[in-house]
A = this chain, B = another copy of it.
Amino acid sequence: MSSSTEERRLTARGRATRDRIVAAAATLMYERGVAGTSTEDILKAARVTSPSQLYHYFADKRALVQAVVRHQTERVLDFQRPLLSRLDSIEALQAWRDAVVQAQHARDCRGGCPMGSLAAELSDHDPEARAQLVAGYAQWESAIRDGLRAMQQRGELDAEADTDRLALALLTALQGGLLMTQTHQDTTALEAALDTMIETIRGYATR
């Protein structure tokens, strides 16, 4: 009973195949949705020969899905944190915006947010997955908030700016923008949403 899901003792090889399964599942579920990817396809993609291996590491598909949620949360935060941790100006905020927009183009505007697509599919029917996603969003939100607060403490932002609310609004606009990017297959909505949010934040700039 180490972490939330008790992980039995894993040998190096065991961990490797477990990781391969999660990574393959994450990729496929991102591309085809959770319901749209079969365990068989996952095994094939992970170069694993037998279903018994999957069920050796996971109780059932739901448990695997939860591991995928954790995996994707980690990936997103690993991408976001370095950009957000050094927010020291409106320009840095715009650099973050540009990086996000560019990341969408890099994947041809398909797939949306790795967390957001899981959220849309799972929130209503998988309480554990939902809880994981809420926790992930909380981390993301606080990374943004920390960035804004850093700006504020540097004196770039007015002291009365509500960084909590702005961070949440920014994250929310981003989620909407990523969904719209996926549907429209272009980033104009994402750009409009982020730019308008940044415009509001700029309104609090001390200049």
- Verify A110–B134 contact, CB threshold 8 A: no
Partner of A183, one of B32, B137, B165: B137
List A residues 81-112 near B (Cβ within 8 Å).
Answer: 110-112
- Verify B130–A120 contact, CB threshold 8 A: no
Looking at the assembled complex, report how far the CB atom of A158 sits from the nearest CB atom of chain B, in whole angstroms.
14
- Verify A179–B183 contact, CB threshold 8 A: no
CA distance A146 to B189 in the complex (A): 17
Contact with B along A5-31 (1 / 0, CB 8 A): 000000000000000000000000001
For this complex, into which size category does the number of interface residues on chain A fall? 35 or more
- Verify A179–B116 contact, CB threshold 8 A: yes
User: Contacts A31-B124, A121-B120; is A165 near B192 (CB within 8 Å)?
Assistant: yes
- Verify A177–B176 contact, CB threshold 8 A: yes
Q: With CB as the reference atom, state the residue of chain B lying closest to A120.
A: B120
- Verify B193–A172 contact, CB threshold 8 A: yes
- Verify B176–A124 contact, CB threshold 8 A: no
Q: Is A123 an interface residue (CB 8 A)?
A: yes
- Verify B179–A193 contact, CB threshold 8 A: no
Q: With CB as the reference atom, state the residue of chain B lying closest to A203.
A: B203
- Verify A134–B175 contact, CB threshold 8 A: no
CA distance A192 to B123 in the complex (A): 20
* Interface locus among A40-48, A55-63, A148-156, A194-202: A194-202
Contact with B along A166-207 (1 / 0, CB 8 A): 101101111111011011110011101101110110010000
Chain A residues within 8 Å of B, Cβ to Cβ? 31-33, 35-36, 110-112, 116-117, 119-121, 123-125, 130, 133-134, 137, 165-166, 168-169, 171-177, 179-180, 182-185, 188-190, 192-193, 195-197, 199-200, 203
A-B contact pairs, 9 of them (CB 8 A): A116-B179, A119-B183, A120-B179, A123-B182, A168-B189, A169-B197, A171-B180, A172-B189, A174-B176
